[in-house]
Amino acid sequence: GAVVSQHPSRVICKSGTSVKIECRSLDFQATTMFWYRQFPKQSLMLMATSNEGSKATYEQGVEKDKFLINHASLTLSTLTVTSAHPEDSSFYICSASPGLATDTQYFGPGTRLTVL
Amino acid sequence: AQSVTQPDIHITVSEGASLELRCNYSYGATPYLFWYVQSPGQGLQLLLKYFSGDTLVQGIKGFEAEFKRSQSSFNLRKPSVHWSDAAEYFCAVGEDSSNTGKLIFGQGTTLQVKP
């Protein structure tokens, strides 16, 4: 089956620093990747949609200058949380899709970010 | 705007008992509907999906779901629950209007299985 990896699985950083999270599709080409944020005991909230080679589309209320998304290849997307603050602490999940709207999204295991 | 409601935040069933997790959606056209399961330390795994055709959908791990347009529901069922089914379950609807593949998730239902 399709596998999506995320790295790191867990990261702790100081307030004001930047953190990069990688999302890789290991055995298929992902035309589209999605980034979600999940708060404890809550649902997944879509942050942005990224297509390979183009700028990400951010959901309303998500600061694009704070959450930088790069989708440089068909197997890699990165999310950089810039100048992180404690309120950015959350569980970040990526998913990857071969491309069609009706295609299944394959989810990574998530990254737990803690900002001190 | 599309929305998904999972009325039950937490459900406890005994091992071997039947299970039904509820999901209601709000969407103008025929929705694309999904059920995912999230286990600790693992990514969301697709259990089943409905796009069109037969309204009773079979999935992995013995799960099935039935699309009922009249009730705007897509409930997940399993005839006999195993202890390994304890996890978080999410219903989602695909936002097709913009053909982006975006998913809108329900709040999730935590399933606890008693021995």
Report the pLDDT value the prediction gives residue B59, as an integer from 0 to 100: 96
Contact B101 A100 (CB under 8 A): yes
3-state SS, residue A87: helix
CB B108 within 8 A of CB B59: no
Q: Which residues of A touch B45 (CB under 8 A)?
A: 107
**Amino acid type, A103:** D
**Distance to chain A for B77, nearest Cα, Å:** 21
Q: Which residue has the tokens 């695909």?
A: B94
- C-alpha span between A38 and A36 (Å, rounded): 7
- Chain B contact residues (CB < 8 Å to A): 32, 36, 41-46, 49, 51, 90, 94, 96, 99-108
Report the pLDDT value the prediction gives residue B99, as an integer from 0 to 100: 60
Q: Do the bridges between strand B10-14 and strand B109-114 make them parallel or antiparallel, or are there none, so unpaired?
A: parallel
Q: Quote the distance between the C-alpha of residue B19 and its chain's center.
A: 12
Confidence of residue A87 (pLDDT cuts 50, 70, 90): very high
Confidence of residue B37 (pLDDT cuts 50, 70, 90): very high
Q: What percent of chain B stands above pLDDT 70?
A: 96
Q: Is A81 exposed, middle or buried, given 0-12, 13-18 or 19+ CB atoms closer than 10 A?
A: buried
Confidence of residue B51 (pLDDT cuts 50, 70, 90): confident
Report the pLDDT value the prediction gives residue B96, as an integer from 0 to 100: 62
Other CB atoms within 10 A of residue A116 CB: 10
Confidence of residue A45 (pLDDT cuts 50, 70, 90): very high
**Distance to chain B for A42, nearest Cα, Å:** 6
Q: Quote the distance between the C-alpha of residue B9 and its chain's center.
A: 13
Report the pLDDT value the prediction gives residue B60, as an integer from 0 to 100: 95
Other CB atoms within 10 A of residue A108 CB: 28
Span A50-85, pLDDT tens digits: 888 888 999 999 999 999 999 888 999 999 999 999
Q: Do the bridges between strand A111-115 and strand B24-26 make them parallel or antiparallel, or are there none, so unpaired?
A: unpaired
- C-alpha span between A6 and B78 (Å, rounded): 31
Is the pLDDT at A101 greater than 60, yes or no? no
Report the pLDDT value the prediction gives residue B65, as an integer from 0 to 100: 98
**Region B47-73 average pLDDT:** 93
Three-state secondary structure string covering chain B = CCEEECCCCEEEEECCCCEEECCEEECCCCCEEEEEEECCCCCCEEEEEECCCCCEEECHHHCEEEEEHHHCEEEEEECCCCHHHCEEEEEEEEECCCCCCEEEECCCEEEEEEC
Residue A38 is encoded by which pair of tokens?
């999940």
Q: Is A27 exposed, middle or buried, given 0-12, 13-18 or 19+ CB atoms closer than 10 A?
A: exposed
